[in-house]
Structure 1
Amino acid sequence: MDRELIAVLEQLREIPIFYKLSDQTLEEIANNITIKDYRADELVYSEGEPSNHIYIVVSGRVKITKVSSTGREKILHIIRENEMFGEQALFENGVNPHSAKTIEKALLFQIRLNTFKKIIDEDHECATMLLEVMNLKLRQAYRQIINLSFKDTYSRLASRLFKLARDHGIEEEKGLLIKAKLTQQELADYVGTSRETISRILSDMVQKEILIVDRHRIYIKDYQALKEVALGSI
């Protein structure tokens, strides 16, 4: 077994969704992986195009987006290290139901769609793992619907920042830094509003000492206050 394959296997074992898989299945996945570097803001695939691969983020972050009938982009998910994306194409006749683009420089594992489908057919644990991943994303989509239906824009932005801090936050002297560097336009696409509205709300949260905003970096200064806003308590 060569060094590159050993390194891929070690990386796969670090991924929570693969922890139940047998060594044989992991080795089959590893043997069919292509490793690819992406620049920041580089398209991985486009909505509506034929899908050939499933992806795993080794490093960096990727945003999953969909374009509305009016041409507006909406960010559906932000995929972080050790998470998988592109698996929906298995159930969409091999067509990408959304687009994927890197937020920052990223290293991705690519697995051919047909190979992954064969592994699922042959390995019960792998099929169960896929259902768990899709169930998680379904719950996230449900929460998005709740946010859009019942929360105002202020609370929706607070909810998104709270989730970003929980999933992508690291403690620093200024506060909890959201490592996913999103522009105000990207935050607007994530929340479903205009960039101008995002700018006004961020300024208000800074004034209330909930956040510190330094260029594209957002620090959570008062985590509990942000949580209360996200829940609609303020």
Structure 2
Amino acid sequence: MLSTSLDIPSYLSVLPLFHEMRPAELGRIAESAVLRRCERGDEIFRVGQVCDGFHVVMGGQVKLYALSPSGHEKVIEIISPGNSFAEALMFTGKPYIVNAQSLCDSLILTVRKQAVMDEIAHDPRFALRMLAGISRRLHGLVQDVESAALHSGIQRVIGYLLRDQCLEDVAPGQTTTVSLPVSKATIASLLSLTPEYFSRVLRELEDGGYIAIDRRDIRILDVQGLSRYHLQ
């Protein structure tokens, strides 16, 4: 399990949302916040519950997902340590419109809405930083929608594998390894693919000599070639 004996103000101080805040302000946020230890599979919130704050992943991973009437799950976003979520919804006064679940042992810090409003009243720059974070998330979600609408399934898979690669810095013949942070089924849902199709694409790329698969570790054998394949 993750330790809960943490210096919360010091942790918050390195996050983009809080890094310009003074120690007294960080102390007030930390004092009002609630730290929760979650095990794998624990629900952080569900659709319809009241949203009275936002959340910061201090350790572990959280998935935001929706369920269709038939029970089909669609992963919307995977939240990694150092990132926050539900900020925008907090200001609407409406209940949660998606579900949040811990993907592994996680530490979640919940910052209450009243504490946020108090800090905004004290320093309006806090609101601007929150808006910047919300805008970055919205931009990322729009890109995901565009990818799902305009790219083929295999292009989406390759785009995911190359998402953190700067092609200009990769020499010909250089290999790199991508470690899948969650299960293949979760990533498939994130890419709006079935798990079977996602696995089939990985096998095709492996058979083509572009990647080598070792469970969740995927070694890209030909980064440039994979990029060219993505553009076909």
Q: Shared topology, TM-score over 0.5?
A: yes
Per-residue deviation at 1:97? 2.0
2:197 match: 197
Partner of 2:81: 81
Shift of 1:228: 4.2
Say yes or no: does 1:188 pair with 2:188. Answer: yes
State the partner residue of 1:170: none
User: Is 1:26 matched with 2:23?
Assistant: no
Secondary structure of the corresponding residue to residue 107 of structure 1: strand
CA distance change for structure 1 residues 221 and 49 in 2, over 3 Å: closer, same or farther?
farther
In the alignment of these two chains, the number of paired residues is: 220
> Greater Rg, structure 1 or structure 2?
2
Instruction: Determine what percentage of the aligned residue pairs are the same residue.
Output: 19
Matching residue's letter, 1:189: S
How far off its partner does 1:88 sit? 2.6
Counterparts of 1:1-234 in structure 2, within 5 Å, are 7-68=7-68, 71-163=71-163, 165=164, 175-178=176-179, 180-182=181-183, 184-229=184-229, 232-234=230-232
Give the number of the structure whose residues are more often helix, by fraction. Answer: 1
Q: Which moved more, 1:197-206 or 1:119-128?
A: 119-128
With structure 2 as the length reference, what TM-score do the two structures score?
0.83
**Gap change, CA 1:116 and 1:61, over 3 Å in 2:** same
List alignment gaps of at least 5 residues for structure 1: 167-173
Shift of 1:221: 4.1
Alignment CA distance shift 1:156-1:106 (3 Å) = same
Q: Which moved more, 1:19-28 or 1:148-157?
A: 19-28
Letter in 2 for 1:202: L
Distance change in 2, residues 1:179/1:117 (3 Å): farther
Distance in 1 separating the partners of 2:224 and 2:121: 45
CA distance in 1 between partners of 2:134 and 2:162 (Å): 22
Unaligned runs of 5+ in 2: 166-174
CA distance 1:12–1:147, shift in 2 (3 Å) = same
Structure 1 residues 228 and 11: CA distance shift in structure 2, 3 A: farther
Amino acid at match of 2:118: K
The amino acid across from 1:51 in the alignment is: C
What value does the CA root-mean-square deviation take over the aligned residues?
2.4
Contact 1:33 1:110 in 2 (8 A): yes
Instruction: Kindly state the Cα deviation for residue 175 of structure 1 after the two structures are TM-superposed.
Output: 4.0
CA drift at 1:29: 0.7
CA–CA distance in structure 2, aligned partners of residues 227 and 23 of structure 1: 46
- SS of the residue corresponding to residue 17 of structure 1 reads coil
Give the TM-score of the pair, scaled to structure 1: 0.82
